Amino acid sequence: MSIKNEAKEFIVFALIALLAATAFSYALFGITGIRVVAGIVFMSLPFYIFLNRFELAEGEKSVFSILLGLTLFPSLVYILGLVVSFRLGILITFVALLGIAIAVSKYESKKP
C-alpha cells in the first residue's frame, strides 16, 4: 500500500498540529489538557476509519471525523449512561463504534 505524496504531507501537518495542540493544552491546563486532546482524538478515530470508505481527501476525513466524534459520540455515551455508569458507557460506545467501523471496512474490502 503506497501513500500519495499529498497524504504524506497531510499526515506530517496533522501530527505537528496535534503536537502543538497538546503542548498548548498542557501549558494552559496541565495533564487535564492532554486528556482532552487525547479524548478528541479517540472519539474521532472510529469515524475516521468509517470515512475511509468514501472518496474524500485526508483533510475532509479528518474534519468530518472530528465533528462526528464531537457530536455523535457524547450523545451515544449519554444515552447509554442512563443505564450504566458513564465510564462504562464511554468504553462500550468506543468499542462498539470501533468494531462497527472495522467490520464495515473489512466487509467492503471483501466485495468484488
Each residue's pLDDT tens digit, 54-89: 888 888 888 999 999 999 999 999 999 999 999 999
pLDDT at 19: 92
pLDDT at 13: 84
pLDDT at 2: 62
Q: How many CB atoms lie within 10 A of CB 42?
A: 14
Cα–Cα distance, 22 to 37 (Å, whole number): 6
pLDDT at 93: 93
Using the predicted structure, report yes or no on whether residue 25 has a pLDDT greater than 80: yes
Using the predicted structure, report yes or no on whether residue 1 has a pLDDT greater than 60: no
Average pLDDT, the chain: 87
- What is the CB-side half-sphere exposure of residue 65 using CA atoms within 13 A? 25
pLDDT at 27: 94
Cα–Cα distance, 44 to 38 (Å, whole number): 10
Q: Are 93 and 84 in contact (CB under 8 A)?
A: no
pLDDT at 105: 83
- Among residues 92, 68, 69, which one has the least CA distance to residue 82? 92
Tracing cell 467490520 back to the chain, one arrives at 103
pTM given for the model = 0.78
Q: Where are the domains of the chain?
A: 5-110
